[in-house]
Amino acid sequence: MVFRVLVGLAAAALLVQCGAAGTEVTCSGAVPMRWRREVLSITDFGAVGDGRTLNTWPFMKAIYVIQHRRRRGGTLLYVPPGVWLTGSFNLTSHMTLYLARGAVIKATKDTWNWPLMDPLPSYGRGRELPGGRYTSLIHGNGIRDVIITGEKGIIDGQGGVWWNMWRQRSLRFTRPNLLEFMHSSDILISNVILQNSPFWNIHPVYCSNVVIRYVTVLAPSDSPNTDGIDPDSSSNVCIEDSYISTGDDLVAIKSGWDEYGIAYGHPSSGITIRRLTGSSPFSGIAIGSEASGGVENVLVENISLFNTGIGIHIKTNVGRGGYIRNITFADVNMNNVRKGVRIAGDVGDHPDDKFNPYAIPVVDKVTIKNVWGINVQQPGSIEGIKTSPFTRICLFNVKLWGRPQNTPWECTAVSGAALGVQPWPCAELTGNSESGFCSNAF
């Protein structure tokens, strides 16, 4: 009973924290924090948190029990303080994975026995290598009403062994993500720390109603492809109030790869990214380059970036097809950034030689406003595709200062408007900003 009361108090405190923003604009209400009637501890299933005992089987047993009991209101699986070594395991519907303060779920370094799964249909193969891919450390497929939360507990992918395999070119299949949900809905991830992912950290793919809030994502700056959060062919995704420092894009919105993404035809839409702080040698907030299913209706606002390669990055390529449209970046601060803005039509490789060279992507209606940067080496470049110029690009109140002075903007195959931009952008963006598509930005 004491145990249940303590967990209840912790959950109640978490609810208060999640509502503390009060007057702040938020999209997190899409997936509420739910109270679970039943509480189980991972120790009830023989788990030992000594950092040496492998607990894959206890995690699998616990989730099997939760799945088959089907308690009304769902079940909370409590992970107490300790280091809980484990291999990959799957979650189930109507459950909360709760990490207490001092709890660490740590991935085993035994890569040879790591489970494999089929490639994603919108990618046609593993992202790094042909064939299948390694299953994520924590995985969910076809589930709903799932919460991963706690008191700043840690999920540690121990990615160093995977990064070394990548560097040595000894990988057999594509590296595992840290967390991945497929074909799932009503997912909430909050108040946890994710670190040292083997590959991408959080990957919701073919999902809807996903909230990621109050998370910290960490990986060394030289760790390969450790994207922070990658919404992929997903809708109604809310990412807020988080800190990310990784070796690749902090957030990258995707929707499939070349002919496979075109055929699968599942866009990413209704994505909101708000009050995010972070650092990356690559990109801050990115769209693409795998966007063959289309990306639309994206709002990115109140972002702080430092020590980053490219602040705002929209990237695609001939052969991708699809579209990137109705995108808004607002209130972005940058410090020590190599390039402030890049919108490019020549980024990304192809899964194989079967891609259609006539599948030309469309980039249309991108608004970038209220952006301030210092120590920016180059303000930006917008380089469209000759046969498909980027259209309705709107820059308003974008001020990117270099040291000692900026190099100029670079633009090709683009049309749009600009107002209050320093240094002044390219001639292609000097259209009438007081009417038409760009007027709503002012």
The pLDDT tens digits of the residues spanning 41-99 come to: 999 999 999 999 999 999 999 999 999 999 999 999 999 999 999 999 999 999 999 99
Q: Which of 145, 227, 248, 258 is catalytic?
A: 248
The pLDDT tens digits of the residues spanning 133-171 come to: 999 999 999 999 999 999 999 999 999 999 999 999 999
The pLDDT tens digits of the residues spanning 301-351 come to: 999 999 999 999 999 999 999 999 999 999 999 999 999 999 999 999 999
Please give the C-alpha separations between residue 368 and each of 35, 322, 326, 392, in angstroms, as whole numbers.
40, 21, 11, 11
Q: Tell me how many degrees the CA angle 398-401-402 measures, rounded to the nearest 5.
A: 140
Q: Is 248 one of the catalytic residues?
A: yes
The percent of residues above 70 in pLDDT, for the chain, comes to 92
Give residue 440's pLDDT: 66
In this structure, the number of other CB atoms found within 10 A of the CB of residue 53 comes to 15
Domains of the chain are 1-13+27-227 (2.160.20.10), 249-442 (2.160.20.10)
Give residue 367's pLDDT: 97
Give residue 237's pLDDT: 98
Give residue 434's pLDDT: 47
- What is the Cα–Cα distance from 287 to 238, expressed in whole angstroms? 15
Structure tokens at 405: 């002075």
pLDDT interval class at 439 (50, 70, 90): low
Phi, psi angle pair for 57, to nearest 5°: -65, -45
DSSP string over 413-426 = SEEEEEEEEES---
DSSP 186: E
- What is the Cα–Cα distance from 369 to 387, expressed in whole angstroms? 27
DSSP 43: G
pTM: 0.94
Higher-confidence residue of 184 and 440: namely: 184
